Amino acid sequence: MNGFLTDTRIKELAAQHGTPLLVLDCNVLKRQVEQLRKALPGVDFFYAVKAFPHPDIINTMDQCGVGFDLASSGEIELVRQFYINPRNTIHTHPIKKNRDIRDSLRFGCTTFVVDNGEEMKKFYPYQNRVGLLLRVSFPNPDAIVDLSRKFGCSPDEAIELLEMAKQMGMHVKGLSFHVGSQSRNSNMHVTAIRRCREILNDYNRHAEIPMSMLDIGGGFPVNYCDTMPDIDTFCAPITEALRDLGEDLHIIAEPGRFLVAPAAISITAVTGKAARGGRNWYYLDDGVYGAYSGQIFDHARYPIRCLKAGPASPSVLAGPTCDSIDIISEEIQLPELEIGDLVIGEMMGAYTVSTATDFNSLSRCEIIVLNKPEAADKIPHIA
């Protein structure tokens, strides 16, 4: 349970704004940043904007001293509104159009992730303006979301690509990896750090300009309906492995889910009910085409509860669209609900509204923000 809203407050918000709602608490964001900093001392964070691209999150993260992991020109435009220092941003999408590169450079972001030779060639015209991070692949069968299938070069390929970059006169600042998300242990993080250390040491031994950065990605777990280790336990082996890298290497990470997942809850209402196959079906005003889209795209199963007591029985929660795939839970224990009763989804800040659609031309949930940070007075940055 998130615990930042009482049931009474939930009812008040639903009565005031209607449903569906997604309620975001910026104080929880700040708490998550501090927890992760404690677990990963000495690591600089770049918030993965894709997880929840919302202005108040950008403002909160900036005021917490967190940088930004950008993956599109749209995300660049979002952070530009807050006069974010481009030096506190990195562009991590391994595959980019030429326009993406130009938009990033125009903004002032000059650090880019690449993972193959064709992508490296795109930066040759800008070689005096950019620094590259070479993404190395470390497939992780323990991760619920494995991010090494689509992107990343093998460690052996990394050595060849570093030689290619040297011949092209490209500046490779360091290495990058992402071992996937929602793993129950950090074994693959440790493996990746150690293998990257070998590559860095071998390269730097003979390099005129040594690599000076390691990006350890994200994937730090949160508890949905499955039990995950607490963040201190998960990160302890990572911190130990990072100590072996020495003090001259700049270590960064790209947390998204861990920072924003616990900071939001969904409030939906029952709009219809039916008895089918011996179970009660409850139709809600949000579903997997909306804020619950993470069940499709992110393989997440969110903790769900209602604000009503009574004997529970196997039930079905369905979304509001005409599509039969729009089912939130096939078999959930619930008391008998009536039209208008509220259903609460917990841990719904990450990859929920950011992956929602407009299918059936249904309105998306309204986002209510609590404890907004005050706007900071900033001078626009001139790149």
Domains along the sequence of the chain with CATH: 26-261 (3.20.20.10), 262-370 (2.40.37.10)
| Single-letter residue type at 2 | N
**Structure-token match 């029985």, residue found:** 313
Q: Which of 115, 60, 62, 63 is nearest to 86 (CA)?
A: 62
Whether the CB-CB separation of 257 and 57 falls below 8 Å is answered with no
Tokens linked to 201:
């040491």
**Structure-token match 């069940």, residue found:** 295
Task: Show which residues are catalytic.
Answer: 322
Tokens linked to 218:
């994200």
Q: Which of 5, 1, 11 is nearest to 371 (CA)?
A: 5
Instruction: Report, as ranges of residue numbers, the positions in the chain whose pLDDT lies below 50.
Output: 1
| Single-letter residue type at 355 | T
Whether the CB-CB separation of 214 and 138 falls below 8 Å is answered with no
pLDDT in the model for residue 195 = 97
pLDDT in the model for residue 1 = 45
User: What does the alpha-carbon distance between residue 135 and residue 139 come to, in Å, rounded to a whole number?
Assistant: 12
User: What does the alpha-carbon distance between residue 186 and residue 236 come to, in Å, rounded to a whole number?
Assistant: 9
pTM value surpassing 0.85: yes
pLDDT in the model for residue 224 = 93
Whether the CB-CB separation of 367 and 54 falls below 8 Å is answered with yes
CA dihedral 2, 5, 11, 13 (to 10 degrees): -110
Backbone CA torsion sign across 348, 216, 188, 134: positive
